[in-house]
Amino acid sequence: MKLGKIIEIVEGTPLFEFDLDQEIPCGGAADLMSDVLALVEPGAILLTGLCTPQVVRTAEMADIAGIIFVRGKQPMPETIALAREKGIPLVATALPMFEACGRLYQAGLRSCDISCRIPWRTAGDAEETDR
């Protein structure tokens, strides 16, 4: 699903300019950063209620494609500055977490919890073929 479409579904506002055509394979939601690191696949969109710069750091480590802040929360200016620097799109929505996730899931965005079933594997591992 295109990032632009995702923003439209959650009635979100981009917090700075970025590429809306980027393809997002799946989504995940968590407020605990270790959960994000454990559950989310590379390239996913993250829905969270946490607005500290650590969310962006976590996204950087876990190769997360973008972050949606739920329930009308505005991230700190440092958070926005860091995301801009790292090229990680930020979006704010007034919807609560449950509804934002529900709308996206209903629209066909799949949940990314592969790594929780095959603990040490990531989606990238599965895709790489040896030639």
Partner 1 sequence: MAEVTRLHELTYEVKIGDVMTRQVITVEPRTTMAELRAILRDHRISGAPVLEGDALVGIVSVEDLIKALVAGEMGASVGEKMTRNPVTVRADESVVMAIKYFNRHGYGRFPVVDARGKLVGILTRGDIIRGLLRQLEEEYHREEALRYRVSHIFEELISDLTSITLRCRVEAQDFESAGDASSKIKRALSRLAVPPQIARRAAIVTYELEMNIIIHTTSGGEILAEIQPDRIIIRAVDTGPGIPDIEQAMQPGFSTAPDWVREMGFGAGVGLNNVKRCADEMLIESPNAQYTSVKVVIYLDHERRPAEKAA
The stretch among 16-24, 29-37, 69-77, 90-98 that binds partner 1 (CB under 8 A) is 29-37
**CA–CA–CA angle 59, 5, 108 (5° rounding):** 85
Put the strands of the sheet holding 110-111 in their side by side order.
13-14, 90-92, 66-69, 45-48, 26-29, 110-111
The stretch among 1-9, 69-77, 100-108, 122-130 that binds partner 1 (CB under 8 A) is 122-130
Residue indicated by tokens 């393809």: 23
Q: Judged by CB under 8 A, which of 7, 29, 55, 68 binds partner 1?
A: 55
13 interacts with partner 1 by CB under 8 A: no
63 interacts with partner 1 by CB under 8 A: yes
